[in-house]
Amino acid sequence: MAASRSDFGSLLHAWRDRLSPADAGYPVGVGRRAPGLRREELAQLAGLSVDYVLRLEQGRARHPSAQVVGALARALQLSRAERDELYRSAGLLPPQDRTISAHVPPGIQRLTARLGDVPIGVFAADWSLVWWNAMWSALQGDPTTLPVSERNLARAVFGDGPAHAAVRPFHSERGGETFAASIVADLRHAASRYPADAQLAHLVQDLRAASPAFAHLWATATAAQHTTDRKTVVHPEVGDILLDCDVLIVPGADLRVVTYTAAAGTGDAGKLDLLRVTGSEPSPTLS
> Residue 230: which CATH number?
3.30.450.180
Q: Starting from the edge strand earliest in sequence, which strands make up the sheet with 239-250, in order?
A: 129-132, 120-123, 255-261, 239-250, 229-235, 170-172
Q: What is the pLDDT of residue 231?
A: 94
Same domain, 265 and 148: yes
Q: What is the pLDDT of residue 151?
A: 93
The predicted model scores a pTM of 0.75
Phi, psi of 229 (to 5 degrees): -130, 160
- Kindly tell me if the per-residue pLDDT of 6 is higher than 80: no
Instruction: Report residue 65 CA to chain centroid gap.
Output: 18
- Of 205, 223, 225, the closest CA to residue 214 belongs to 205
Same domain, 143 and 221: yes
Range of the domain at 43: 2-89
Same domain, 76 and 153: no
- Beta-sheet strands, E only, within the chain: 120-123, 129-132, 170-172, 229-235, 239-250, 255-261
Give per-residue pLDDT as tens, 91-130: 988 877 678 888 888 888 888 888 888 999 999 999 999 9
Looking at residue 248, the DSSP 8-state letter turns out to be E
Candidate ranges 42-51, 171-180, 229-238, 272-281; pick with highest mean pLDDT: 229-238
Residue 254 CA neighbour count, 13 Å, CB half: 19
Give per-residue pLDDT as tens, 10-61: 999 999 999 988 888 787 766 677 678 999 989 988 888 899 999 999 988 8
Same domain, 84 and 225: no
Domain boundary among 89, 119, 134: 89
pLDDT band at 281 (very low <50, low <70, confident <90, very high): very low
CB 58 within 8 A of CB 24: no
Instruction: Report residue 147 CA to chain centroid gap.
Output: 13
CB 133 within 8 A of CB 120: yes
> Residue 63: which CATH number?
1.10.260.40
Mean pLDDT of 188-209: 92
Same domain, 183 and 244: yes
Residue 99 lies in a domain: no
Total domain count for the chain? 2
Give per-residue pLDDT as tens, 59-89: 888 889 888 998 899 889 898 889 899 999 9
CB 101 within 8 A of CB 84: no
Report the chain's mean pLDDT, rounded to a whole number: 87
Same domain, 111 and 218: yes
Same domain, 113 and 236: yes
